[in-house]
Amino acid sequence: MGLSNRTDRASDTARLLPAVASMALALAVIGASLGAIAVSSGVPLWLVTVMAALVFAGGSELLVVGLTTAGAAPVTALLGGWLLNARHLPYGLALGDVMGEGIGRKLFGSHLLVDEAVAFALAESEPARQRRAYWVAGVTLYCVWAPSVLLGGLLGRGLGDPQLFGLDAALPAGLLTLVLPSLRDRSVLRAVLLGCLLAVLTVPLFDQGLAVLIALLGTVAALPLPNDRRSRAGEGGTA
């Protein structure tokens, strides 16, 4: 079964490292800017660091800091953060077996379930490699996230702009790179295109988190088509 001996496993991990490291670097800069933003808007440094370690979902952390310091009610911020993180449930359904056997691996592995780790796992085809990619990416990114938030908070205002150096484009581009190989499968391509279209069109109507969940409807485009290939393929192809 795939990677049986130690050398194979070591070389497989080494293969992942450049990509995981560059993803981690981009994430570290985002984390540092979150720390800087939080501290400069009056959130205690320990609190934002604890949040980074316990929540480990950057988008929702930025949202909660932004909303509460702008004067929104805590319950609004909480609901917004939960909604934005609801996508982790379907991620977990897809990757439940990738984390490995045993309740310990599931309890710990679930906390590492972030977009980037999911993308690294799904970019592999063989189960053993998926598992390695998930754990290498998840553990690395987790170890980077909270310390970079802390460091950003310590260094302060200079880092407060997440758009510095264009790094706001780096994470989406990195995720896109990991998703692309899977799109060679026509049914996946149809689903992803329809999902992207639905999400991008519905953001102005709903919340950003809800729009991403609505994209799940795009999965129907992956179901086997009867004879009328035309309609759905055309729908997805316009994105």
Partner 1 sequence: MTLGLVLALAAGTYAMRLAGPLLRDRFRVSERGGRLLSTAALTLLGAFVAVSACYESGSFAGWPRLAGVLVGGVLAWRGAPFVVVVIAAAGVTAVLRALL
Query: How far is 76 from 64, CA to CA, in rounded Å?
Result: 9
Minimum Å gap between C-beta 20 and partner 1 is: 9
CA dist., res. 94 & res. 66, Å (int): 31
Nearer to partner 1, 6 or 93 (CB): 93
Q: Which is nearer to partner 1, 5 or 181 (CB)?
A: 181
Q: Which is nearer to partner 1, 4 or 33 (CB)?
A: 33
Q: Compute the least distance from the CB of residue 237 to partner 1, in Å.
A: 14
Smallest distance from partner 1 to CB 21, Å: 8
Question: Residue 51 in contact with residue 170, Cβ under 8 Å?
Answer: no
CB 13 within 8 A of CB 131: no
* Residue 224 DSSP one-character state: P
* In the complex, least distance from residue 66 CB atom to partner 1, rounded to whole angstroms: 7
In the bound state with partner 1, the residue whose beta carbon lies nearer, of 25 and 155, is: 25
Query: Which tokens is 98 given?
Result: 């990738």
Q: Which of 194, 224, 200, 221 is nearest to 212 (CA)?
A: 200
Of the pair 211, 233, the CB lying nearest partner 1 is at 211
**Nearest alpha carbon to residue 88 among 179, 209, 235, 6:** 209
Q: At closest approach, how far in Å is the CB of 9 from partner 1? A: 21
